[in-house]
Amino acid sequence: MIANLDKNVLVFLLASIALIVFPHIYHIPINIFAYFYLLIGWRFVGVWRPHWLPNRWLVFLLTVIGIGLVYLQHQGIFGRDSGTRLFVVALGLKLMEIKTERDLYLVTFLAFVVAASQFLYTQSLVMAAYILLVCCTLIATLVCINSRQPQPWDALKTAATIVVQALPIAIVAFILFPRMEAPRWMLLNDRQQARMGLSDMMEPGSISDLGQSTELAFRVQFIGPMPPPAQRYWRGPVLSKTDGKRWQPSPHQGFAQFMDKPVFTGKPYQYTLLMEPQNKNWVFALDMPAEFTQPLARNVTYQLITSANPDKRSEYKITSYPQYNTGYITRIEYADAIQLPAPPSPEINGLVTQLHGFDSPPEVFIKALLAHFHNEDFHYTLTPPIMDDKPIETFLLKTRYGFCSHYASAFVYLMRTAHIPARVVTGYQGGEFNKAGNFLEVHQYDAHAWTEVWLEGKGWVRVDPTAAVAPERIEQNINIDALAQDAVIQFASDADTKQASAWLKHARELLGNVDYNWQRWVINYNSNNQAKFLANLGVDNLKAMIYWMLGLTAFITAVLSFILLYQRPKTTDQALRHYQQFCRKLAKYGLIRQPGEGETAFAERVKVALPQAGEAVGQITHIFVGLRYGRVARSEDLQRLAQQVREFRVEEIK
């Protein structure tokens, strides 16, 4: 039986399957991956040495091993990960028993399912393009199975044509097919996946992990003008409880009804925010968010919380005001914002006294403290020396090397020592502007910590002590990640390097823009978006949607079929074109030339059926035959042919 299968087809099939499974290298453990590629390698050898293929018992043994591998990994075979792995193992095993043509079809269709399983993990544009290409090779495999003499290159061309023809229908189905939201249980266990991001707990040094991650946190597209870089504070969790080392959010909740209503002034900024998947349900809005829609809500620390599944990319429309007054402070807030783990040490008290912390208004003390950071020998670095015992004291008085979380925590500590309510705010600061797509990209390395101080008559006011030490970090949004890690960051002018990498930067921006739109319009196209988008087009209910879908699909199919069926053989031969026109005229009388019928033979047949047209048919055929097969083709013959064909009529017999 094996001898019947074409080697080319097998090699083609195996190569496509090897390509399809390859991106799973990121998702399936190396032993299952190796197991699969061992099987496929074995099968490749088996193409030329069929007797080396395993017999039934060996296949059984391999099956046990494969399922055992999956089971050991997961203690089960349900769920996305183990399901995918089981499928890959099964595909590998099925390769071992390709015996008939039917098996080829089965394996090809299994491979399509594996291709689709890639989207359970990655939905990027690159992956989509890759899968589309690999699907081309799979379809080419099917073409090969069905052709007399498989020619890989021709098969690929046919497959590519099929895919291109399928695309319009796919687009229509994508836009109009009713979206079903997956039920909760179908989300399975992919929440366990670790994701980078801010945590709700801050220790000195915790943000520096993020400082080196280039992963995207979210994207923002402004409607109208953008705020200047110094105002781009993306508000995250507020930390007010401390044990002197670690900072955590306040445990107190539910006092929102006692809080003053914030008053917003100045120019509002409207924007769309596209959050990347994350573990927490935080949405990092521009400080401070004023208007937002479901499923967002603002908590007592003015942070936006979403009630949708944060593990999916989601888009929000938010309006923020950079100038605001939160009004009076509640007692709970005050108690939280003044809390200290223990009475400050004499050295700290001495520092506050020296900066007139106890005897001047808060504004003066803040200014003095910021000036202290600026003028004294404080340095900004992402790799500060380790401070074990009393980090704040050691930082302020001894090491003086640190980054945003050190400065923020030290600042708040000193404020609280001087009985001024203060707290740490974490979030992101800055963002890289993508010129190509006209949006901001905020990465994990933009993670930042700053402080808020409550002032009489002004409410909570943002103070960023890091700005006093390294104003470039805030104003120019310098990518710390790109700078040396273990050196003190000097924030030297890097105009030269910018110039050199401008082209690269532009390319990256363009790519970022494509990805943004892909995420926004394709991945994020759920039932809500669909409803909104279609309502714009006047399609507002399910029935209309389905009618439109069926109608458009039918239309595209009709257009494609028309093109395919009425595709005339491409020819530069004018004479042949005239002759074909002549044949079409005759076809109206039921005289259809068979493809293998010679012109003179056809003419004889026509003369019998339509004796009254015999002369004209004879002439036309004679001229055409002369032009096509004769020794010399004269242009006047061509004109005569054209004219005769044009004038050709069959008179009705009276």
Partner 1 sequence: MHNAIDHLLTSANEIILGKDHKIRLAVCCLLARGHLLIEDIPGVGKTTLAHTLAKLLGLHYQRIQFTSDLLPADILGASVFDSANNTFKFHPGPVFNQMVLADEVNRATPKAQSALLEAMEEQQVTVEGKTYPLPSPFFVIATQNPSHQIGTFPLPESQLDRFLMRIELGYPDQAAERALLAGQSRQQLLESLTVQLPPPQLHAIQQAVTDIHVSPALLDYCQALINFTRTSPEYPCGLSPRGGLALLRAAKAWALMHRRDAVLPEDIQAVLAAVAGHRLRAGSSHSEAIVAPLLEKVGIH
Encoding tokens for residue 332? Answer: 């709970």
Candidates 629, 651, 652, 653: give the one binding partner 1 (CB under 8 A): 629
Residue 236 CA, distance from chain mean position: 23
Q: Which is nearer to partner 1, 515 or 599 (CB)?
A: 599
Q: Is residue 638 within the footprint of partner 1 (CB under 8 A)?
A: no
Residue 576 beta carbon to partner 1: minimum distance, rounded to whole angstroms = 6
Between CA 524 and CA 96 the distance in angstroms is 40
Specify whether 51 is catalytic: no
Phi and psi, residue 447, nearest 5°: -55, 145
Q: Is residue 566 within the footprint of partner 1 (CB under 8 A)?
A: no
- Residue appearing with tokens 């599944």: 309
Residue 634 beta carbon to partner 1: minimum distance, rounded to whole angstroms = 14
Q: Which is nearer to partner 1, 150 or 344 (CB)?
A: 150
Q: Is residue 572 within the footprint of partner 1 (CB under 8 A)?
A: no
Residue 612 beta carbon to partner 1: minimum distance, rounded to whole angstroms = 24
Encoding tokens for residue 330? Answer: 């509640």
Which of 404, 406, 446, 515 is labelled catalytic? Answer: 404
Q: Is residue 565 within the footprint of partner 1 (CB under 8 A)?
A: no
Candidates 51, 543, 631, 654: give the one binding partner 1 (CB under 8 A): 631
Phi and psi, residue 502, nearest 5°: -60, -40
In the beta sheet, which residues pair with residue 291? Answer: 319
Which of 24, 406, 448, 578 is labelled catalytic? Answer: 448
Encoding tokens for residue 24? Answer: 């799973």
- Do the bridges between strand 379-380 and strand 401-402 make them parallel or antiparallel, or are there none, so unpaired? parallel
Among 343-351, 352-360, 532-540, 626-634, the segment contacting partner 1 (CB under 8 A):
626-634
Residue 601 beta carbon to partner 1: minimum distance, rounded to whole angstroms = 6
Encoding tokens for residue 121? Answer: 């993990």
Cα angle, residue 254 at apex, residues 250 and 256 outer, rounded to 5°: 100
Q: Which is nearer to partner 1, 331 or 631 (CB)?
A: 631
567 to 203, 539, 576: CA distances (angstroms):
71, 35, 15
Strands (E) in 464-607, as ranges, are none
Q: What is the biggest distance separating any 2 CA atoms in the chain, rounded to whole angstroms?
A: 127
Specify whether 464 is catalytic: yes
Among 23-31, 94-102, 293-301, 565-573, the segment contacting partner 1 (CB under 8 A):
565-573
Between CA 447 and CA 207 the distance in angstroms is 7
Candidates 183, 254, 457, 569: give the one binding partner 1 (CB under 8 A): 569
Encoding tokens for residue 58? Answer: 């060996």
Written as one letter, the residue type at 266 is G
Residue 596 beta carbon to partner 1: minimum distance, rounded to whole angstroms = 5
Residue 573 beta carbon to partner 1: minimum distance, rounded to whole angstroms = 7
Among 344-352, 439-447, 450-458, 572-580, the segment contacting partner 1 (CB under 8 A):
572-580
Between CA 11 and CA 321 the distance in angstroms is 63
581 to 592, 617, 618: CA distances (angstroms):
12, 13, 16
Is the separation of the CB atoms in 326 and 452 below 8 Å?
no
Between CA 324 and CA 233 the distance in angstroms is 14
Q: Which is nearer to partner 1, 8 or 353 (CB)?
A: 8
* Stretch 175-204 residues interacting with partner 1 (CB under 8 A): none
Burial of 486 (0-12, 13-18, 19+ CB in 10 A): exposed
Other beta carbons within 10 Å of 423: 27
Among 163-171, 187-195, 309-317, 594-602, the segment contacting partner 1 (CB under 8 A):
594-602
Q: Which is nearer to partner 1, 189 or 571 (CB)?
A: 571
Among 71-79, 351-359, 455-463, 628-636, the segment contacting partner 1 (CB under 8 A):
628-636
Is the separation of the CB atoms in 363 and 377 below 8 Å?
no
Q: Which is nearer to partner 1, 143 or 329 (CB)?
A: 143
340: left (phi over 0), alpha (psi -120 to 50) or beta: beta
* Stretch 573-592 residues interacting with partner 1 (CB under 8 A): 573, 576, 580
Q: Is residue 630 within the footprint of partner 1 (CB under 8 A)?
A: yes
Q: Which is nearer to partner 1, 504 or 632 (CB)?
A: 632
Residue 597 beta carbon to partner 1: minimum distance, rounded to whole angstroms = 7
Among 39-47, 379-387, 396-404, 570-578, the segment contacting partner 1 (CB under 8 A):
570-578
Length of the chain: 654
By three-state DSSP, how is residue 450 classified? Answer: strand
Encoding tokens for residue 568? Answer: 């005339």
Q: Closest Cα to residue 298, out of 285, 310, 311? A: 285
Residue 569 beta carbon to partner 1: minimum distance, rounded to whole angstroms = 6
Residue 9 beta carbon to partner 1: minimum distance, rounded to whole angstroms = 15
Candidates 67, 201, 625, 642: give the one binding partner 1 (CB under 8 A): 625
Between CA 488 and CA 583 the distance in angstroms is 86
Compose the 346-365 pattern: x for residues touching partner 1 by CB under 8 A, - for all others. --------------------
* Stretch 101-160 residues interacting with partner 1 (CB under 8 A): 148-149
Binding residues for partner 1, total number by CB under 8 A: 20
Q: Is residue 4 within the footprint of partner 1 (CB under 8 A)?
A: no
Q: Closest Cα to residue 457, out of 313, 361, 569, 359? A: 361
Residues 6+ apart with CB under 8 A from 257: none
Q: Is residue 628 within the footprint of partner 1 (CB under 8 A)?
A: yes
Candidates 597, 612, 639, 643: give the one binding partner 1 (CB under 8 A): 597
- The enclosing H or E element of 401 equals strand 401-402
Candidates 596, 635, 651, 653: give the one binding partner 1 (CB under 8 A): 596
Residue 615 beta carbon to partner 1: minimum distance, rounded to whole angstroms = 20
Q: Which is nearer to partner 1, 79 or 626 (CB)?
A: 626
Compose the 493-522 pattern: x for residues touching partner 1 by CB under 8 A, - for all others. ------------------------------
| Catalytic sites, residue numbers | 404, 448, 464
Binding site for partner 1 (CB under 8 A): 148-149, 569, 571, 573, 576, 580, 594-601, 625, 628-631
